[in-house]
A and B are shown apart, each in its own frame.
Chain A
Amino acid sequence: MSEPMTRQIPAPAVTLETKPFFDAAAEGRFLIKRCNACGEAHWYPRFLCPVCHSDDTVWEESPGTGVIYTYSVMYRAPTGPYAIGYVTLDEGPAMMTNFVDVAPDGLKIGMKVKVKFQPTEGGPPVPVFTPA
């Protein structure tokens, strides 16, 4: 199985809290949330800092680079194998994602990856990752 993987992604659920993220995604910009009180970045983005519980959190543009924390290639899929995994962003937090444009045997824990926005079916684009 050496074909690069792709995956059709459904439209994400966009909420009042996450609309800025997906609006930026539509412009190809990757945003994360950071807390002004404790300085920590977190994922998934929300108004309340899950680290120190301050509501003084702000959007910050990120280069969307990081390393693969773990992954699994799902073979029981009608449209072909796809890879789910977590990326540890350079800012610290880990996020769930899909790895695309890479063959199943091309993935490795610790591999450097970068964000790419993938169109969804009827919704805003969402972040996926490819080898950096």
Chain B
Amino acid sequence: MSIKGKAYVMGVYEHPTRDAPDKTTAQLHAESAKGALDDAGLSFDDVDAYFCAGDAPGFGGMSMADYMGLKNLRHMDTTEVGGSSYIAHLGHAAQAIAAGKVKVALITLAGRPRNGGGRPGAPGGGGRPPQGLTDGPPEAGFESIYGGSTHNTYGMCAMRHMHEYGTTSEQLAWIKVAASHHAQWNEHAFLKDVVTVEQVVNSRMISDPLHLLDCCVVTDGGGAVVVVSPEIARTLKRPMVKVIGVGEAPKLQYGGRKLDLTYSGAAWSGPRAFEEAGVTPADIKYASIYDSFTITVLMQLEDLGFCRKGEGGKFVADGNLISGVGKLPFNTDGGGLCNNHPTNRGGITKIIEAVRQARGEAHPKVQVPNCDLVIAHGTGGSLGVRHGAATAILERES
């Protein structure tokens, strides 16, 4: 498929300022966005894809998307290749549109190098900083000061989930127990010992209600993935594992309106991936589910549709995630909870174990029989603040 003729540039806007002592970088991004959308005759609510580069303050595209109140995003790309980024973004936007993934893509750039802010790679550096003010992520003055970490922001999710649905620490512990059952067979696993529910709930409290053993490991390491065209795939000697559905979505704070920390962006990314793949959660033989904490797994399983919302606790209990024992074998490498969480980003190991399973190359003790349909799902950022979610469904071609 070519992008030729599949996408149109219908809105542009060049911000009139050349010296902005009275505006933040976030504001310049938003004013530029508004100008381009006005030019096109569209609104922020029409935007389903957002592109920005290193000049955008905050975490990837999420801070700016949140600031601008982009509520309908299904695609985000923060490719950073300096000044060429925005032309690369144009190409990526055209590809996403040509693939039918999105309809309206917004690309923004803004910065204030004359006023001490917004220079890629040098936040707050250069120029003349006005009266001790900063120009970083727009939310910074209202969030980072409160000592949020992954532990306590996920703790807040678990606390609310327990409050609304009666989820228990014992149920969460079953997720760690299942991961440990798998990790015992992985010679590279950081933690190889099988643990019990009692050991998890009696481990040291880190951030209420998450115990030490509810948390993932901290490991050095890495991983890589090669994706090829069907033509190339057919010339190679490895089992053919094809991508049949993908979905992504950020979950933001939307001005603090209707804050709900009991669900994740998987509630959007999952259905998009399943729809494209033409399969349902019941068809999935193996699931790689991002497991920064036990609560991460539970919420994502619910949101992906493996059980009803609020019933994740029951679903994961009694070994239901253990390969050869339960209905949904998950993270058979031991996952982030026991095996590996390289550089505190588990997404790539989720793809890798899903491919091992689809190839039939997982450890024999955890290999799922006839494992022709697998899912890999990840979350980045914090479920307790704002995060990105991405889902991929893979199928072995026989």
Interface of A toward B, CB cutoff 8 Å? 7, 9-19, 21-22, 40, 42-51, 53, 55, 69-77, 82, 84-86, 88-89, 92-98, 104, 109, 120, 126
Contact = CB atoms under 8 A, between A and B. Distances in A.
B159 A72 contact: yes
Given A15-B135, A17-B24, A76 B147 contact: no
Given A14-B133, A44-B142, A74-B155, A109 B207 contact: no
A16 B145 contact: no
B138 A50 contact: no
24 contacts: A7-B147, A12-B142, A14-B134, A15-B135, A15-B138, A16-B135, A17-B26, A43-B256, A44-B138, A46-B26, A46-B138, A48-B30, A53-B45, A70-B160, A71-B159, A72-B210, A73-B208, A74-B207, A74-B208, A75-B205, A77-B147, A84-B146, A84-B148, A94-B256
A68 to B, nearest CB: 10
A53 B67 CA distance: 10
Contacts of B210: 72
Interface string B341-360: 00000000000000000000
B140 A13 contact: yes
A11 B67 CA distance: 22
B133 A109 contact: no
Contacts of B141: 12-15, 18, 21-22, 44, 126
Interface in B214-260: 253-257, 259
A104 B208 contact: yes
A46 B256 CA distance: 12
Contacts of B159: 70-72, 109
A45 B32 CA distance: 19
A50 B133 contact: no
A120 B142 CA distance: 13
Nearest to B117: A15
B346 to A, nearest CB: 20
B26 A84 contact: no
Nearest to A53: B44
Contacts of A18: 141-142
B146 A86 contact: no
A16 B112 CA distance: 12
Interface in B31-64: 31, 34, 43-45
Interface in B157-203: 157-160, 163
B23 interface: yes
Contact of B68 (A21, A43, A50): A50
Contacts of A94: 253, 256-257, 259
B162 to A, nearest CB: 9
B152 interface: yes
Given A10-B145, A126-B145, A74 B257 contact: no
Contacts of B145: 9-12, 120, 126
Contacts of B205: 75
A97 B133 CA distance: 22
Interface string B53-92: 0000000000000111100000000000000000000000
